[in-house]
Structure 1
Amino acid sequence: MSDKHELLDEVDGLITHKRRLDFNYFLYMILTLLFIAMFAFPKIYITQQIYFKSREIAKLKVEYETLKEENKLISASVESIKFKNQILDTMF
């Protein structure tokens, strides 16, 4: 019975080569992660900057539209005052 187990252990050892986690493997994994991070982090940074700039642009656009509406109201008020002033000047 033990001969069978020894034979199976030897066959298993030949079929499935067990890889040990040595320093070279560890270094390879670290370099791979650094390589992936080199491409991932700049993309994240650029995407974040675009997002914040678009928020600022949207905020400024809302303020611009508000100021345009205020300008229209003030212009209408000025025209009304000019009209009243012209009518009052012609009466006296």
Structure 2
Amino acid sequence: MQEKEELLTLHDEEQKREVNLSFKTLVMVYLAVFIALALFLPKIYIANQIYYISRDIADISGKRDMLLEENRALSIKLENLRYKNQILNNMQERQWK
């Protein structure tokens, strides 16, 4: 009976003892977190940079399209003015003759 009580006492003492993380386990966890951050932070940074650059490209592309359309409109106006000028010059030359 006494052996049983001794075993129960040892078991109770073992159960009461706190089990903390060892230094080695703590270092391993910190190392794993550091490696994970080292792997994923550059990817996140690069993805953000690609996003912002693509936004800038889209903005510049929209401005380029607008300028091309304005250039077409101005070319048409210039062509109309040249045509009008040629007609007026021909009419003025005929008047002077």
Q: TM-score range by the shorter chain?
A: 0.7 to 0.9
Q: How many residues align?
A: 85
Compute the TM-score of the two structures, normalised by the length of structure 1: 0.80
| Cα deviations by residue, 1:11-34 (Å, 9 ceiling, x for unpaired) | 9x6xxxx75212222111111100
Q: Percent identity?
A: 32
RMSD, aligned α-carbons: 2.5
1:3-82, aligned counterparts within 5 Å? Answer: 3=5, 6=8, 10=11, 19-82=19-82
Matches of 2:43 and 2:20, distance apart in 1: 35
Runs of 4+ in 1 over 6 A off after TM superposition: none
Compute the TM-score of the two structures, normalised by the length of structure 2: 0.76
Which amino acid is 1:6 matched to? L
Q: Which runs of 5+ in 1 are unaligned?
A: none
> How many angstroms does 1:66 deviate by?
0.2
Q: Which runs of 5+ in 2 are unaligned?
A: 93-97
Which amino acid is 1:46 matched to? I
Matches of 1:64 and 1:20, distance apart in 2: 64
| Cα deviations by residue, 1:15-72 (Å, 9 ceiling, x for unpaired) | xxx7521222211111110010010101001101100110111011001100010001
Matches of 1:19 and 1:51, distance apart in 2: 47
Higher gyration radius (CA): 2
